[in-house]
Amino acid sequence: MGAEGAGGRKDDAHISKDWEIERRLIDGVFTREVRNVVTANGITTELIRADWGLVDGEVRQAIHVALRGNALSAWHQHRSRWDYVFAVGGHLRVVLHDPREDSPTRGQVDVFHLSPARPTLLGVPPWIWHGVQNLSSSPSMFVNLFNKEYDYEDPDEWRLPPDTDEIPYSFS
């Protein structure tokens, strides 16, 4: 059977010969893949450094999140602070949606698979909706860094339900 009758869809190129992931991200979103350093007694991984020039201002708060097996946390947004996400255990699907009217990537959805197997820092700008899904049956963990502290009196936290019609993505 020829290629025309075989069915299916041919993959677009998505990785370079140097194993760099090639994709057009939502405006302002970034990733920085880092390397694990194997030492005599384990593995060391740098999560973030000031000289990388990635943080808008400075890191002002850090939290560690353990997401239960197969759990979903979606949708979530901050309007004045950045999220910097780094998976430290398990396998996470992180989905971003750009609702910003003045953005060149308005309406775009980005899907990331984060795991310590390929350590990557994901930077999420203000106003970008994001959801995190644990694809493992056991807990997956990530470190979340912020450029502004959580405000206990006036939280910069906005939420939508996972099945909202406002975002063109389904976690099922």
What are the tens digits of pLDDT across the range 68-96? 999 999 999 999 999 999 999 999 999 99
Tell me the C-alpha distance between 138 and 140, whole Å.
Answer: 7
Give buried/exposed letters for 48-73 (b at 16+ CB in 10 A, else e).
beeeeeebeeeeeeeeebebeeeeeb
Q: Tens digits of per-residue pLDDT, 99-112?
A: 999 999 999 999 99
pTM assigned to the model: 0.85
Integer-rounded Cα Rg, in Å, for the chain is 18
Domain at 24-48+62-148, CATH from 2.60.40.10, 3.40.50.1820, 2.60.120.10, 3.90.1300.10: 2.60.120.10
Reported as a pLDDT band with limits 50, 70 and 90, residue 4 is low
Can you tell me the distance from the alpha carbon of 139 to that of 143, in angstroms, rounded to the nearest whole number?
13
Residue 171 and residue 60: Cα distance in Å, rounded?
31
DSSP, collapsed to helix, strand or coil, labels residue 165 as coil
Return the structure tokens found at 58.
């400075």
Query: How would residue 148 be classed by pLDDT, with cut points 50, 70 and 90?
Result: very high
Give the pLDDT confidence score for residue 3 in this predicted structure.
53
